[in-house]
Structure 1
Amino acid sequence: MKVGVIGLPQTGKKTLFQILTGSEVKERSGTPKAVPGTAEILDRRFDRLVSMYQPKKEARARVDLVLLPKIEKETIARGDLFRDIVDMDAICHVVRAFEDEAVYHAEGSVDPLRDAEIVNQELLLHDQIFVEKRIARIREMIKKIKDEDQVKELALMERMLAHLEEEKPLRLMEISSDDEVLIRSYPFITRKQMILAINVGEDDLGDDTILDRFNTLCTSQSMEAMVVSAKVESEIALLDSEEERAAFLEDLGIGEAALGVLTRLCLKALGLISFFTVGQDEVRQWLVRKGAAAPRAAGVIHSDLERGFIRAEVLKYDDLMELGSEDAVKKAGKFYVQGKDYPVVDGDILNIRFKV
């Protein structure tokens, strides 16, 4: 599951990607290429569990990120950008909202709302062109041999075209499971979930009105939005201890580093949730599809656990934090034993019983 990081030139997307992944992206000559990386999920629940259990080992979950070539006329004309985006499962679009005379802007001025709409229009146009070509092709095929599936697909494509012509992304369109089979292999971009990361200057951190300006766009395009300052986040990343980072954030009047919010939004866009396994040997965070049953979560840990699944012993994170220990949770009657049909909930602490 991969999240593609996109944006116009000079938006700060490379800086943000480097902070998230801890990797350095070097400039290369020739055709720009996608750069893969992984980012740890920053989750305070994990931190508190580590503090409670003091394990010998700890392991955060990670999400795959890919820094895609900047969006400019050359990459659009070559089609490289769209080929890369098609391979992603979700998109993080970084828009520039910071002023800096030393950093040029491709459009000549800083206007994040305009820039977000420019990129959205390019993605909508990509899907619209594909649908138009597909409609023309199906009509030609039907003239030769009338096939029931082709007739169904033509009706679907015509609905999709009407939807796109209203400048609405395909992720807003209801598609039946039968229709899903017809288009599963097609390179639609606007069906993917999108996060809008608004990259601001330090002075604008904590300004609640920034997100308000994007409400209409985000609602109409079904996007999540957040405010981040790549410059500030890069300064936070240089601090040695968690205490120093917390103090720095407090001085800025920020409760949490934006990267924690961003990684969790990535999970949401991918349709993933976190669950935990705990103990004195190890505290680990795992990822599983939202709505997955307990055996599937067990399989994320190890295939033997899914194959030989008997039951899942479940603690709720909030109960554990409130009561202070596993024994206290059990005494309060909040220790649950669940079977194979139990849908794992975000934040569950699981112990899998199995036999192979």
Structure 2
Amino acid sequence: MALNCGIVGLPNVGKSTIFSALTSAPAEAANYPFCTINPNVGIVDVPDFRLKKLAEIFNPKRVVPATVEFVDIAGLVKGASKGEGLGNQFLSHIREVGVIAHVVRCFDNPDIIHVANRVDPWDDIETINTELALADLETLQKRRERAERALKVQGKDQQKQAELTLLAIQKVQAVLEQGKPARSAPLSEEERVALYDAHLITMKPQIYVCNVDEQGMRGDNPYVAQVRSIAAAEGTEVIKICGKFEAELADLESEEEKRAFLAELGLEESGLSLLIHAAYRLLGLRTFFTAGEDECRAWTIHAGDTAPKAAGVIHSDFEKGFIKAEVYSFEDLITYGSEAKIKEAGKYRIEGKEYVVQDGDIMFFRFNV
């Protein structure tokens, strides 16, 4: 299970620059709108100090981190929901991602054109969010028509499902018409499932990414403060990223150099790491590990997944024939130093089908197919 993150925003706010810095993959970047037509895609490793520590302890033949797919989606403009600026094509790309990183320009530079000829995070965010909401309202109308047809021609079970869908549509439409995202609608879990196939854009979790200059990395400016106030009202997170710093960091080869570079800026983590970890939190994702002499690997699951579901992430046969899981925590490995010592301390556990996997668990699965 790979995290899938779409980078969106107005033209010329620095999406492609940030994408290139985060992924070390070249993306077309230019000082004019719509230089990105087709989405750029980059795969990056999830930073996780625990996997590095496992590799030091087990000295495996290979180390396989979890990954994140970043999709750099072309800039949206006012009217995108009606097709302005190739808007319909761009909106279709957003529907395919799991979480949205909304890049907002938070720096002044007369040499870099702003599509509205002014730097105004509040207005920029409202423009993007309005277009996404309008696109969702159009999608809801089509979904409503399908549900109403089902009420007339389907059997009782399908009619009951259509009634549930129409109730969910009514709730979501009410918040969208107020300019709020679909994710803020008071939906039951059943209603949320009923609307899943609509793939509403504003139902997706959203993180605000403040694109700042070098000075902005050393403290908040008024633009960043605006974004933080908007994010707080929405109950989401804000990440500050300076594309120039991220590009310079990516060029450094050793971990020692990278840590020293971050320390000079008074930072503990890179923008990439902050963004990935924020996305994990918003999506409720967790990491477990498999470790041994052949391989140390990080696996991504959802919070609340049981041991058989975690086994299924490795291979579907593991889930079908699950017998038990041998489990210990990363913290216990650090405390005791080896599997043998963990067993001596009684911290090595055998868990069954009902066990809920915890973040940082190190697991070995027994199965039979």
**Match of residue 130 from structure 2:** 121
The answer on whether the counterparts of 2:103 and 2:208 sit within 8 Å (CA) in structure 1 is yes
Take 2:148 and 2:368, find their aligned partners in 1: how far apart are those partners? Answer: 56
The answer on whether the counterparts of 2:78 and 2:131 sit within 8 Å (CA) in structure 1 is no
Matches within 5 A, 1:163-242: 163-207=175-219, 213-242=226-255
Under a length normalisation based on structure 2, what TM-score does the superposition of the two structures give? 0.85
Q: CA deviation at 1:67?
A: 1.3
Take 1:250 and 1:213, find their aligned partners in 2: how far apart are those partners? Answer: 27
Alignment equivalent of 1:17, drawn from 5, 16, 19: 19
Higher mean C-alpha displacement, 253-262 vs 29-38:
29-38
User: Is 1:99 equivalent to 2:108 in the alignment?
Assistant: yes
Q: The residue matched to 1:223 in structure 2 has which SS?
A: coil
Q: Percent identity?
A: 36
**Match of residue 307 from structure 2:** 294
Matches within 5 A, 1:199-348: 199-207=211-219, 213-348=226-361
Distance 1:171-1:196 versus aligned 2 partners, 3 A rule: same
Take 1:15 and 1:30, find their aligned partners in 2: how far apart are those partners? Answer: 12
**Match of residue 94 from structure 2:** 85
Listed as ranges, the gaps of 5+ residues in structure 1 are none
Higher mean C-alpha displacement, 72-81 vs 61-70:
72-81
Q: CA deviation at 1:39?
A: 1.6
Under a length normalisation based on structure 1, what TM-score does the superposition of the two structures give? 0.88
Q: CA deviation at 1:68?
A: 1.0
Listed as ranges, the gaps of 5+ residues in structure 2 are none
Matches within 5 A, 1:38-57: 38-57=43-62
**Match of residue 155 from structure 1:** 167
Alignment equivalent of 2:9, drawn from 7, 15, 20: 7
Higher mean C-alpha displacement, 62-71 vs 330-339:
330-339
1:280 alignment partner AA:
E
Take 1:109 and 1:169, find their aligned partners in 2: how far apart are those partners? Answer: 25
**Match of residue 37 from structure 1:** 42
User: Is 1:353 equivalent to 2:362 in the alignment?
Assistant: no
Please give the root-mean-square deviation of Cα atoms over the aligned residues, in Å: 3.0
2:56 alignment partner AA:
S
Take 2:221 and 2:211, find their aligned partners in 1: how far apart are those partners? Answer: 14
2:105 alignment partner AA:
R
Q: CA deviation at 1:338?
A: 0.9
Q: The residue matched to 1:185 in structure 2 has which SS?
A: helix
Q: CA deviation at 1:74?
A: 7.3
Higher mean C-alpha displacement, 307-316 vs 227-236:
307-316
- The one-character-per-residue Cα deviations of 1:48-84 (angstroms, maximum 9, x if unpaired) are 2223332221111112221111112575424112211
Distance 1:25-1:209 versus aligned 2 partners, 3 A rule: closer
Q: CA deviation at 1:229?
A: 1.3
2:61 alignment partner AA:
K
2:217 alignment partner AA:
L
Take 1:212 and 1:54, find their aligned partners in 2: how far apart are those partners? Answer: 46
Take 1:207 and 1:117, find their aligned partners in 2: how far apart are those partners? Answer: 24
2:275 alignment partner AA:
L
User: Is 1:60 equivalent to 2:65 in the alignment?
Assistant: yes
